Copies of this chain bind each other. A is one copy, B any other.
Amino acid sequence: MSKTSKPNWKNKLHEIIYEADTPEGKLFDVVLLIFILASIALVMLESVSTIDKKYHNILYIGEWIVTILFSIEYIARIITVNKPKKYILSFYGIIDLLSTVPMYLSFFFVGGHALVALRALRLLRVFRILKLARYLGASNKLAGAIKASRAKISVFLFAVIIAAIIFGTLMYLVEGEENGFNNIPKSVYWCIVTLTTVGFGDIAPQTPLGQLIATIIMIMGYGIIAVPTGIVSAEYTRSANKKDEENKTEPDKINLNSQNCQNCLTANHIDGAEYCYNCGHNLHIE
């Protein structure tokens, strides 16, 4: 571990960018949040042709301001981290890159600019900034419930997909191309639209037999929508009950802070932590 291998300003910058405990760190997070929201608003407004025609220049300048700031942030993140490669290849690292590159690409490729919309993925950082996870509350009971029932729900959804393929094929045979069921993939798509009770209506069975099968699919969907809901609520009740039994005097809200270790990038440090629980690196070098 190279605790002192970097000049002081790098440590300072790391503190600001990766941590939210210091006033500067909090300010950085708020500013970043505003710029992410602004950048998404820009992309949205630009996609509306009437607005784009009127304010094209303003939006274009806005785009470049956001892109340059995000680029600076991206470079700063790489410089201040001990293991830049790890950051670059991390989930957020790739998203951060994708939110700046398309703008530069638009010089060389005509269509490149459209990919600016990928910036929407940066919204995911909002979760980390706002520490939303903590509102999910009480020792992550909800997360536990979802985790506990994940395997079951997966198998369940898998069963839904198999049912959709079988019934979709059946509907293709029954309805045929003349009624909008052009091919089996489209039929399967329709079947999922129906099973999930979305029901766009762009394709709908026309023959009496097709409508009968559709009825069976819908009632099936009605019956099985109960299963994942039942699983989650039961798991949640269960973990809630366990908590009640252990009769803790509400030490439930563990304040996970938004710090990231400068050395190994691990997150989820407990509030007030001085050293990384993963690699032992000092979290507050100044």
Which residues on A are within 8 Å of B, measured CB to CB? 40, 43-44, 47-49, 114-115, 117-118, 120-121, 123-124, 126-127, 132, 135-137, 142, 145-146, 151-155, 157-162, 165-166, 169-170, 172-173, 182-186, 188-189, 192-202, 204, 208, 211-212, 214-215, 218-219, 221-223, 225-238, 240-241, 244
Give, as a whole number of angstroms, the nearest-CB distance from A210 to chain B: 10
Name the one of B172, B199, B208 contacting A198, with C-beta atoms under 8 angstroms: B199
Chain B residues within 8 Å of A204, by CB: 200, 202
Closest 4 CB pairs of A and B: A230-B232, A230-B233, A198-B199, A200-B201
Asked, given contacts A136-B152, A196-B222, A236-B234, whether A172 binds B117 with beta carbons under 8 Å apart, the answer is: yes
Name the one of B117, B137, B227 contacting A232, with C-beta atoms under 8 angstroms: B227
Chain B residues within 8 Å of A185, by CB: 44, 47-48, 208, 211
Asked, given contacts A135-B154, A238-B240, whether A44 binds B198 with beta carbons under 8 Å apart, the answer is: no
Q: Closest chain B residue to A177 by CB distance?
A: B49
- Interchain CB contact under 8 A, B183 and A230: no
Name the one of B145, B152, B184, B240 contacting A135, with C-beta atoms under 8 angstroms: B152
Give, as a whole number of angstroms, the nearest-CB distance from A153 to chain B: 6
A195-B137 Cα distance, complex, nearest whole Å: 24
Chain B residues within 8 Å of A184, by CB: 43-44, 47-48, 117
Chain B residues within 8 Å of A241, by CB: 238, 241
Known: A132-B159, A157-B223, A225-B225. 14 other contacts (CB 8 A): A47-B172, A117-B173, A126-B162, A145-B230, A161-B219, A194-B198, A195-B222, A196-B218, A226-B228, A226-B229, A229-B229, A233-B233, A238-B240, A238-B244
